[in-house]
Amino acid sequence: MNTQTIAFHTPVKKSVMPERWSVDEVEALFKLPFADLLYRAQQVHREHFDPNQVQLSTLLSIKTGGCSEDCGYCPQSAFHSTGVEDRKMLELDAVVAAARAAQQAGADRFCMGAAWREPSQADMLSVVDMVKAVRGLGMETCATLGMLNDEQTEQLREAGLDYYNHNLDTSPEFYGDIISTRDYQDRLDTLERVRRAGMHVCSGGIVGMGEDLTQRAGLVAQLANMNPYPESVPINNLVKVEGTPLAEQADLDPLDFVRTIAVARITMPTARVRLSAGRQQMSDAIQALCFLAGANSIFYGEQLLTTGNPDVQRDRALLDKLGMYAFADKS
């Protein structure tokens, strides 16, 4: 078992870099007694972060529905009848108004999401304007637009985009059970382009899709073995949406969700680990355990992309109850 995580994270040339975490090692972490796992995660967390501070990202769907990919979890795929309509892209003014409102509510990062396999060149012109305008408000920017080519990553970097979100979603072995319209390698290629262009990488996945423990460990190992690993790691609990192939999926034991957060924290010590989709269905107690396990970021605001998220009052009450605070609270 790797107990020298930090030493192992020294940047090394890719060709000679040993795998930092084998799937077996990650799986062994998942199997630790719960108290041992959380203790270890909390120790790693405290080495790198203020354990009472949380980063708040607000999401906005700038282009909703009608996506040409068949991701089995996603309400926005044109392959599934979920009632989510195919809408045209939001106007710049509407995006700026939403970002301003998020900032006033205390968010420090604004993430713009689009239901695209990849953006067109015309789409890129609009997104570039949005990124510049949101940055102009003094917020960190994030976008999640699907696959990117080199030219598009360059356009986003020049616009000043801080983070690009592109999730691996699950392990390479389970991926084909969930998505057939693209390959795992497509995701890795886009992430590599984002990294090369010099933007921060936001990449994580979804648990509770029917993956077994080895496959869940496989996702974390893939993320942790990226060189460097992502700066931001969203861990989503599947939101079951009627009309998607995963609508009837059995619930994940909430403690297994907490374990996933802890394992992400231990294997990616300096990453922001985000407690992402699925919070609306989660008790305060489970969320508190997630923070104890090393989560230090959340999506903040009533809406994720098409599904709900706890409202601001509930989140503020939760943070107060736990003695936690956001960036904006102390600046």
306 is in the binding site of which of ligand DTB, ligand SF4, ligand SAM, none (Cβ under 5 to 8 A by kind)? ligand DTB
Listed ranges 69-77, 224-232, 259-267, 283-291: which one lies at the site for ligand SF4 (CB under 6 A): 69-77
Smallest gap, in angstroms, from Cβ of residue 237 to ligand DTB? 10
Catalytically annotated residue among 202, 272, 279, 290? 202
Q: Which of 67, 99, 224, 246 binds ligand SF4 (CB under 6 A)?
A: 67
Q: Which is nearer to ligand SF4, 70 or 154 (CB)?
A: 70
Q: Is 77 in the site for ligand SF4 (CB under 6 A)?
A: yes
Q: Is 239 in the site for ligand SAM (CB under 6 A)?
A: yes
Smallest gap, in angstroms, from Cβ of residue 59 to ligand DTB? 6
Distance CA 244, CA 6 (A): 40
Question: 71 catalytic, yes or no?
Answer: yes
Measuring CA to CA, which residue among 78, 83, 86, 112 is closest to residue 181? 78
Neighbours of 129 (CB within 10 A): 14
Q: Which of residues 285-304 bind ligand DTB (CB under 6 A)?
A: 304
Smallest gap, in angstroms, from Cβ of residue 233 to ligand DTB? 9
Distance CA 133, CA 141 (A): 10
CA distances from 58 to 2, 38, 85, 178, 277 (A): 35, 28, 22, 27, 12
Q: What is the largest CA-CA distance in the chain?
A: 52
Q: Which of residues 235-294 bind ligand SF4 (CB under 6 A)?
A: none
Neighbours of 4 (CB within 10 A): 7
Measuring CA to CA, which residue among 285, 289, 315, 318 is closest to residue 300? 315
Q: Is 168 in the site for ligand SF4 (CB under 6 A)?
A: no
